[in-house]
Structure 1
Amino acid sequence: MKAVLYDWGGLNVWLFKAVNAWHNEVLDRFMLLGSLLAEHSNFAIWLSVLVAAALWALHRKGQRALMPWFVVIAVFALGNLVDGWVVGGLKSWFLFPRPSLALPPGAVYVVGNPELNLQHSLPSGHASFAMLIAASLWPVLKRPGRYAAVAFVAWVGLSRISLGAHFPADVVAGSLSCLLVVWLVRRMVSGIVH
């Protein structure tokens, strides 16, 4: 089962090596920034940005603009809580090693501070948090904002591979598990407010 769902018949490691092999100073800084923006510890900053955006929408469009933003903020806050439980639970259940532990010494180019817990790779918490931000905002975004949201999720996911912290399967699992969490939380919140 692992060979199909996680190893992808060798494609998971091959993709990791292909992305992790590209490095220069500018690219590494760009990838570090992507990971930094998707740190769970930035929750309060992102929440503040959402509240500021809601206040700006209120100023520009009046009270009719508040309900969609209230749902976005509620989904983001509740989704962060649920997603934290899901990611923590899945990491403890699977106990898949990070690339630097799973691959031979010298096969992984690690940028920045290496992850402290080498046995908790699946799913990627950074990819999950990036998806939480994008999926929470999705209903209030117009087409350019949606493109930016997709690009942000891709950037963070690639950054985790490029920096040597996660395999592609970890990134995909983090993104998909959070997408499911956001969908369920949004249904619950929408059922309450409507």
Structure 2
Amino acid sequence: MLGILLPLILFVALADTISNSSWIALERTMLWSLRVETESMLSQFAVWCSMLVTVISVCILCYLLYRQQWRTALFWLCSVSGAAMMCNIMKGTIQRARPELWLDAPDTSFGFPSGHATHSMAIVITLLVLLRLSSWHKVVLLSGFLFAALVGLSRMYLGYHYPSDIVAGWMVALCWVMTLRIIFNQNYLTLQAGQDTVLHFLHKKFLL
């Protein structure tokens, strides 16, 4: 329940703060500090980092469907797609404008919370739920949060979001996925049992 309540409280606190002019000025300063030197290579990396979110999400879903792990695939789809839908609902409700500090950010849709931040964190939290009994759990924990952080930084570097947009997106994803974990039967939410793990698949394929 803490995984639901704490992110929800933080999200509400952020939503209540973003209209404060002093807070906006601070966030703009933070964005400009990321943009002191504009380098094409960094910009390209940021774009690819943002695109990687969708690629990873679709690839994992396709893998689960290929392995006929229907319940796990349903949980994955509800977690990732549901988090994105919740994010869009929040965007339309709060209607915070994007920073628009430089020409790299032509998007005219609302910015709070960040869709990419929500999507990336939903991927990470869902994987942690599915791999919680696996030896891969710590690897996913470290690499996953690094990935989510890079996605968040890339969105700020490109000028699409304020820092609070990113943090709010993370909170939406955490709250949503942890809620679904309670709703779903957690006995089915694992990639360790039976034929669900990649390691088991490789062992059966090449070592037997």
> What letter matches 2:159 in structure 1?
G
Residues 1:121 and 2:133 aligned together: no
Give the match for residue 88 of structure 2. Answer: 88
Q: Deviations over 1:22-43 (max 9, x none)?
A: 421221111111111124x875
Give RMSD over aligned pairs: 3.0
Q: What stretches of structure 2 of length at least 5 have no aligned partner?
A: 1-12, 190-208
Q: Report if the CA contact (8 A) 2:98-2:162 is conserved.
A: yes
User: Secondary structure in 1 aligned to 2:118?
Assistant: helix
1:136 is aligned to 126
Count of residue pairs brought into register by the alignment: 169
Question: What does 1:12-31 align with in structure 2 at a 5 Å threshold?
Answer: 12-31=27-46
User: Which region of structure 1 is more displaced relative to structure 2, 164-173 or 138-147?
Assistant: 138-147
Q: Structure 1 residue 151 and structure 2 residue 146: aligned?
A: yes
Identity percentage of aligned residues:
23
For residues 90 and 19 of structure 1, the distance between their equivalents in structure 2, rounded to whole angstroms, comes to 26
- Once residues 20 and 49 of structure 1 are traced to their aligned partners in structure 2, the CA distance between those partners, rounded to angstroms, is 38
TM-score (norm 1): 0.73
Letter in 2 for 1:48: C
Q: Distance in 2 between matches of 1:2 and 1:123?
A: 10
1:144: how far off?
Answer: 2.2
Deviation per residue, 1:30-79 (Å, 9 max, x gap)? 1111111124x875334124556xx4xx9xxxxxxx7xx954x3332111
Q: What are the within-5 Å matches in structure 2 for residues 45-194 of structure 1?
A: 45-51=59-65, 55=67, 71=72, 73-100=73-100, 108-111=101-104, 114-117=106-109, 120-139=110-129, 140=131, 141-190=136-185, 193=188
Aligned partner of residue 184 in structure 2, secondary structure: helix
Q: Which amino acid aligns with 1:109?
A: W
Moved more, 121-130 or 75-84: 75-84
Q: What does residue 38 of structure 1 align with?
A: 53
Structure 1 runs not aligned, ≥5 long: 59-65, 101-107
TM-score with structure 2 setting the length:
0.69
